[in-house]
Structure 1
């Protein structure tokens, strides 16, 4: 039970880490990697922005290793929380929102529509300054209201 709670807590904490990383790294000193993600119709299968998947995967893999080969088993479940968030991020951001893979094209879920709208607002600004909606899974209330969720 404790390990499941650790995994869930890390998963939820990763939304905060993602928001901070997106706002202050991707739209800051890491803009050179993230910029192509804001270009409309980027023609390649991979973007420089995909390097951030590696940035988040390295600590997860290291924690899996340490949690497996040391007495600190809880580290494995911290790594699992990061991995689970990475999978959710991939499915929501790359598959659902940006349609890089055509797996879930015709969803009519109001929450997912609110998520798409918030991300669309983020991409409305093509530069690194003055963007908004830096998170991924937690959507500001105003986008839920637009979808009549509240």
Structure 2
């Protein structure tokens, strides 16, 4: 049980790096076509092509659940839940809190919340795939905590 908890927490933490890496090198790289509408809306739909990245990580998470379910990987459940929990946190912070796709957490106003908003605003000031910054989500550079 303790191993499963440690694997869950480690997986959640590693996912921040995975989000940063895939955002910088995949979304702002060879799959820019899927991510571009997130920086410059070119459609009337509530959905974005960028939402396809959620599906990718959901499939990876489900894959680990299945590996656990079929007794192929004992820690598969912990890994799958860690990926799922990070995805839920990412969706809550990015899509709900920052971009207000659902009108929740509008009044959140603490030091961390302001830093997350500032960092993400700096990321979105670049409309193209080049010259980006702040590719992570939950870990925010210290400079954005300044008043």
Deviation, structure 1 residue 62: 0.7
Normalised by the length of structure 2, the TM-score is: 0.95
**Structure 2 equivalent of residue 94 of structure 1:** 95
CA distance in 1, matches of 2:146, 2:90: 23
**Structure 1 equivalent of residue 127 of structure 2:** 126
Normalised by the length of structure 1, the TM-score is: 0.93
**C-alpha offsets along residues 27-86 of structure 1, whole Å, 9 cap, x if unaligned?**
000000000000158632100000000111111001001111115220111111000000
Structure 2, gaps ≥5 residues long: none
Structure 1, gaps ≥5 residues long: none
The alignment covers a number of residue pairs equal to 146
CA distance in 2, matches of 1:138, 1:60: 22
**C-alpha offsets along residues 96-137 of structure 1, whole Å, 9 cap, x if unaligned?**
000000011111111011001000000001000001000000
Superposition CA RMSD, Å: 1.2
CA distance in 1, matches of 2:12, 2:43: 30
CA distance in 1, matches of 2:44, 2:123: 20
- Following TM superposition, the consecutive aligned residue runs of length 4 or more in structure 1 with deviations greater than 3 angstroms are 40-43
CA distance in 2, matches of 1:43, 1:138: 31
